[in-house]
């Protein structure tokens, strides 16, 4: 992933979240509208067509370019699939109230072992895209290296965000990764920070990878 792709992906994620926030406000004003929206937004197959059909009813500035509509819809759908739901209250055939609420108490799709597996895959993919293949021992060592914890979490988050935009969601794992990032990292997340994280994780076989805590480089033997 290059800086331009990362910047576009993060911008798309922020726009999708802004749309969710707008819908949360709209739910209080137009509960009947949101009752109908709930069925479509929670469906991977219907979310994009609903967003297109309701374009005139929603702020135009929240919509992306046409070429980005599909990944945008995937991100919007994933928010309602994983993090949010629309609750409505009806009486005598009328929708009286609607709220966009967070999923509380929803069982996690993945535990620590599952999250470790996702990080391992993101680390492997990062190297493969540079024409490098890490041996299993090196992957295991890097996953357990506390010096690499933050860049690995950040890179894995962005990699999984890209996967989610392509419709390859892994349930709550993206939210778990997001919550694992330092607050300052979350506030200042941009392409530069992601590129720095990627560079910190790249292993050149003859050089090994650095660990500041130990003050030396570990050589990876292929």
Residue 175 above 60 pLDDT? Answer: yes
Instruction: Compute the mean pLDDT over every residue in the chain, rounded to the nearest whole number.
Output: 82
> Domain coordinates of the chain in residue numbers?
3-102, 112-207
Q: Kindly report whether the global pTM for this prediction surpasses the value 0.75.
A: yes
Model confidence over 97-149: pLDDT tens digits? Answer: 777 777 664 444 445 667 888 999 999 999 988 888 888 888 888 888 888 99
Report the pLDDT value the prediction gives residue 209, as an integer from 0 to 100.
53
pLDDT of residue 218: 47
Token pair for 61: 């500035």
56: pLDDT strictly greater than 70? yes
Q: How far apart are CA 218 and CA 141, in angstroms?
A: 9
Nearest to 172, CA basis, from 109, 81, 103: 109
- Residue 197: CB atoms within 10 A of its CB come to 21
Q: How confident is the model at residue 208 (pLDDT cuts 50, 70, 90)?
A: low
Pairing of strands 94-102, 216-218: unpaired
- Please state, in angstroms and as integers, the Cα–Cα distance from residue 183 to each residue in 70, 154, 174, 175, following that order: 30, 12, 16, 14
Q: Render pLDDT for 68-101 as a digit per residue (tens, 0 to 9).
A: 999 999 999 988 887 777 776 777 677 667 777 7
Q: How far is CA 33 from CA 20, 47, 58, 95, 107, in A?
A: 14, 15, 11, 9, 29
pLDDT grade for 52, boundaries at 50, 70 and 90: very high
């Amino acid at each position: 992933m290059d800086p331009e792709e990362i910047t576009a992906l993060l911008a798309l994620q922020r726009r999708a979240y802004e749309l969710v926030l707008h819908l949360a406000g709209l739910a209080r004003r137009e509960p009947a509208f949101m009752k109908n929206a709930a069925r479509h937004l929670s469906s991977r197959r219907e979310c994009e067509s609903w967003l297109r059909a309701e374009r005139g009813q929603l702020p135009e500035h929240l919509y992306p370019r046409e070429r980005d509509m599909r990944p945008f819809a995937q991100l919007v759908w994933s928010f309602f699939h994983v993090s949010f739901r629309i609750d409505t209250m009806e009486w005598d055939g009328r929708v009286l109230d609607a709220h966009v609420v967070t999923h509380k108490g929803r069982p996690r799709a993945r535990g620590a072992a599952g999250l470790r597996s996702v990080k391992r895959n993101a680390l492997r993919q990062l190297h493969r895209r540079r024409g490098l293949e890490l041996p299993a021992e090196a992957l295991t060592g890097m996953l357990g290296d506390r010096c690499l914890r933050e860049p690995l979490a950040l890179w894995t988050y962005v990699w999984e965000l890209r996967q989610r935009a392509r419709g390859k969601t892994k349930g709550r794992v993206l939210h778990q990764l997001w919550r694992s990032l330092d607050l300052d990292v979350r506030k200042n997340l941009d392409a530069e920070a992601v590129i720095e994280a990627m560079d910190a994780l790249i292993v050149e076989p003859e050089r090994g990878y650095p660990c500041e805590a130990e003050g030396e480089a570990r050589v990876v033997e292929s």
